[in-house]
Amino acid sequence: MASTTFDFASWPPALSDTQLETLTVYATSYALSHGLLYLPPTASGRQPTVPSSAIHAPISLFPAPFPRKLFDQGRRIQKAYNILYARIAMDEEFLDRIMGAEEGVGKVDDFIGQLWRGWKKLRDVGLVQPLQFGLFRSDYLLHAPANEPLSIKQVEFNTISVSFGCLSQKVAELHRYLLSATNYYETSPFLKRENFPANDNITGLANGLAEAQKAYGVPGSQILFVVQTGERNVFDQRPLEYELLEKHSIHIIRQTFDELAHTASLDPSTSVLRVAVPKDIHPSGQVEISTVYYRAGYMPYDYATPADYATRFLLEESCAIKCPSIALQLAGGKKVQEVLTQPGMLERFLGDEAKYGKDGVLSQEEIEDLRKSFMGMWGLDVAEDMLTPDVDAVKAGREEFGVRKAREAALSLVLKPQREGGGNNVYKEAVPSFLDSLPPQERQAWIAMELIKSPEDTGNYLVRAGTESQAPVKAEVISELGIFGWALFGGSTKEVKEEEVGWLVRTKSKDSNEGGVATGFSVLDSLLLV
Ligand code: ADP
Ligand code: MG
Ligand code: MG
C-alpha cells in the first residue's frame, strides 16, 4: 500500500482492555525469555560481580510506522556515510583544524582537547597500527514541515560505543512474534509480515568485528571490550560476544579502564597489547589483543582519573586495531557534522577524483542524496560569511553572527556541545538565557542546529519494567531511526571496506526533547513500513 494512504494520526490502533493486557503479557514474557533485558538499577550505581536478576528493556507494543521509501534512502546512504567518516578519520590536517587543541574545538573543550593532545603526541612518535575500525550508527528523524513532502533528516552520526544493535534486533523479533501470536487482533491492514523488515544487527556487527580480527591476523588473539563500571546495558553487548565465539571462534575479554590500568601492557619492541589474566583462566597468564572495542570512553565521566586517560593512550599506542581510534572518535564530533554542511566539504571527501581515484568517488547525484539528509547547522563563533570564525567581533567585545542568529531563531533550534550519551543539548526557549551565560571563549565548542519537525500526531503503547501496575502507557510519540554500519580502513591503500548492517528505532514521548533509552526517556521500538 502506498504511504499516502497511511494515516499517522490513526496510530496505534485502539485495543480493548483485554487485548491490551494480553499483548502486554505476551510482550514482556517474550522480552524476558529472549534476553531483551537490562540489569536492574541499584541504589549505589554498582552492579554485583555475579549478576542474578534482570528486568525487561523498555519497549513499545506496536512497531513505528515509517515510509518505506525513506527507510530505503537511509540504508542506501549509509554506504556513503561509512566512507565519509572513514576518510575524515584519515585526514589529520582536517581533524587538527576542526577538533584540535591548537586551532579547533579542543582549544576550548577540555575533554576533546585531552583526547586530541594524547593522539597528537602518539602521532609525533609514529602510530604503529595504520588500520582503523568503526562501528557506526547514523540517526534520523522524520521531517514534516508544512507544505513539504515527508523526508528524513540526520540527527547525528555516532562513531563510538554505538548501542542497541543487539536489543533492537530482538525488538523487531518481538513485534514479529506478536504479529504471529495475535495478528494484532486484526486492528490494521498494515500489520502484515511483509511490512516488518528483517534486522540482522547481531550477525552484521559481529561480522565487522571479525573482519578487524582477521586483518590483525594473529591466531588466538582476542577482542577486548572496554566497558563501563556498573554498566546495566550488558544484554546489548553479550550477544556480540556469543556470536563472535560461535560463528567466528573469537574469544572476548571484558575490562573496565580501572581494571586495564593494572592488566594492560605493551610489548616494548612490537607494541603488541596484552592483558594479564589469572593463570587458572588462561595458562599463559595473558592474552594478546587484536581489536579494542570501546563501549566506554565517550564522555568525560568515563575518565574518572588521569590514569584512565593514560590507559586510553596506552591502548591507542598499541598495534591492536581500535574501534574507534581517537581520530575516529573525534571525527564523530558534532562540530564535524556542522562543518560537513559547509559548501564543498562533501565534495572534498567524496568527490575528489585526484585523491581517491575514479572508483573511489561518488557521483554528484549520490552526494546530493546524502546532503538531502542534513539540517541547517552553524557554529556559534562564526562570522557572517558562515565559514570563518568571527575573530573581529570577539576582539571588539561584540557577539558573533552565529550567536545573534541563534538568538533570533531560538525557538526552532537546538544547541549542541561536543558530547555523547544524551542530556547535553539546549532547546528552544532555553537558548537565549543559555547564550547569556555561555562564556564567549566557549562558543567555539557549540553548534546550532535547526530542529527537525517530526510528525506529532502519532502514538504508541510504551511498556516499562518496574512501573507500579506494569500497565502500558499510551502516549503521543516521536520515533528516531538509526542505521548501523561498519568500516575497516587505513593502511597504505587507504581503502575503505564497509557494510551497511541493520537498524534501530527508539521512540520517545513527544513532550521530551531528548530520547535516551539508557537515560530512561524512551523505549526500543521497531519498524512498520508503510
Ligand atoms: P547525543 O549524542 O547525546 O545522543 P543527539 O544529537 O543525538 O546527541 O541529541 C539527543 C536527542 O536530542 C536526539 O536523540 C533527538 O531526540 C534530539 N535532537 C537532537 N537534534 C535534534 C534536532 N535537530 N531536531 C529535533 N530533535 C533533535
Ligand atoms: Mg543521539
Ligand atoms: Mg551521539
DSSP 298: S
Element (H, E) at 78: helix 68-89
Percent of the chain at pLDDT exceeding 70: 97
DSSP 340: T
Longest CA–CA span in the chain (Å) reads: 70
CA–CA dist 366, 276 (Å, integer)? 48
Mean pLDDT for the stretch of residues 386-390? 89
Percent of the chain at pLDDT exceeding 90: 88
Please report the beta strands in 340-492, taking only residues with DSSP state E, as ranges in sequence order. 377-379, 413-416, 426-427, 447-450, 459-463, 473-490
Mean pLDDT for the stretch of residues 472-478? 91
505 is in an annotated binding site: no
- Is the model's pLDDT at 106 over the cut of 70? yes
Mean pLDDT for the stretch of residues 65-89? 97
Report the residue among 414, 510, 511 best suited for mutation to probe ligand 1: largest number of ligand atoms under 8 A from its CB.
414
514 alpha carbon to ligand 1 midpoint, in Å? 6
Residue located via cell numbers 525469555: 33
Per-residue pLDDT band for 521 (boundaries 50, 70, 90) equals low
Residue located via cell numbers 581503502: 495
10 Å Cβ neighbour count for 79?
18
Contact indicator for 426, 434 with CB cutoff of 8 Å = yes
Identify the pLDDT of residue 518: 54
CA dihedral (249, 485, 314, 423) positive or negative? negative
Report the residue among 375, 508, 514, 524 best suited for mutation to probe ligand 1: largest number of ligand atoms under 8 A from its CB.
514
Q: What is the dihedral of CA 347, 352, 358, 363, to 10 degrees?
A: 10
242 alpha carbon to ligand 1 midpoint, in Å? 31
| Domain 200-323 CATH (choose: 3.30.390.50, 3.30.70.330, 3.90.1570.10, 3.40.50.1760) | 3.40.50.1760
- Is the model's pLDDT at 395 over the cut of 90? no
Contact indicator for 412, 420 with CB cutoff of 8 Å = no
Contact indicator for 230, 156 with CB cutoff of 8 Å = no
Quote the distance between the C-alpha of residue 21 and its chain's center. Answer: 33
Identify the pLDDT of residue 513: 72
SS (H, E, C) 381-393: CECCCCCCECHHH
* C-alpha to C-alpha distances, 111 to 336, 379, 485, nearest whole angstrom: 16, 18, 26
Q: What is the ipTM of this complex?
A: 0.99
List residues bridging with 223 in a β-sheet. Answer: 252, 291
Q: Where are the alpha helices (DSSP H) in 396-519?
A: 401-408, 431-437
Residue-wise pLDDT for 287-336, tens only, equals 999 999 999 999 999 999 999 999 999 999 999 999 999 999 999 999 99
Q: How many helices (H) and strands (E) does the chain have?
A: 17, 21
193 is in an annotated binding site: no
For the chain, the distance separating the N- and C-terminal CA atoms, rounded to the nearest angstrom, is 7
Identify the pLDDT of residue 278: 95
Residue-wise pLDDT for 188-226, tens only, equals 999 999 999 999 999 999 999 999 999 999 999 999 999
φ/ψ region of 35 (left if φ > 0, alpha if ψ in -120 to 50, else beta) reads: left
List residues bridging with 134 in a β-sheet. Answer: 487
List residues bridging with 477 in a β-sheet. Answer: 509
Identify the pLDDT of residue 1: 44
Give yes or no for residue 452 CB within 6 A of ligand 1. Answer: yes
Per-residue pLDDT band for 517 (boundaries 50, 70, 90) equals low
Q: In the structure grid, which three cell numbers stand for residue 206, read together?
A: 559481529
Give yes or no for residue 156 CB within 6 A of ligand 1. Answer: yes
10 Å Cβ neighbour count for 255?
20
298 is in an annotated binding site: yes
Catalytic residue numbers?
137, 156, 158, 163, 334, 416, 420-421, 506
CA–CA dist 427, 429 (Å, integer)? 6
Contact indicator for 73, 365 with CB cutoff of 8 Å = no
Indicate the domain borders of the chain: 3-199+324-529, 200-323
Residue-wise pLDDT for 211-270, tens only, equals 999 999 999 999 999 999 999 999 999 999 999 999 999 999 999 999 999 999 999 999
- Is the model's pLDDT at 41 over the cut of 80? yes
Q: In the structure grid, which three cell numbers stand for residue 504, read together?
A: 534501530
487 alpha carbon to ligand 2 midpoint, in Å? 20
3-state secondary structure of 470: coil
CA–CA dist 440, 250 (Å, integer)? 50
Angle of the 201-216 helix axis to the 238-248 helix axis, nearest 10: 60
As a residue count, the chain comes to 530
CA–CA dist 360, 370 (Å, integer)? 16
Angle of the 165-182 helix axis to the 201-216 helix axis, nearest 10: 150
- Is the model's pLDDT at 455 over the cut of 90? no
Per-residue pLDDT band for 442 (boundaries 50, 70, 90) equals very high
Q: In the structure grid, which three cell numbers stand for residue 122, read together?
A: 602518539
126 is in an annotated binding site: no
Shortest-distance ligand to the CA of residue 337: 1
Identify the pLDDT of residue 3: 47
Report which residue type is found at 432. P
- Is the model's pLDDT at 2 over the cut of 50? no
- Is the model's pLDDT at 109 over the cut of 70? yes
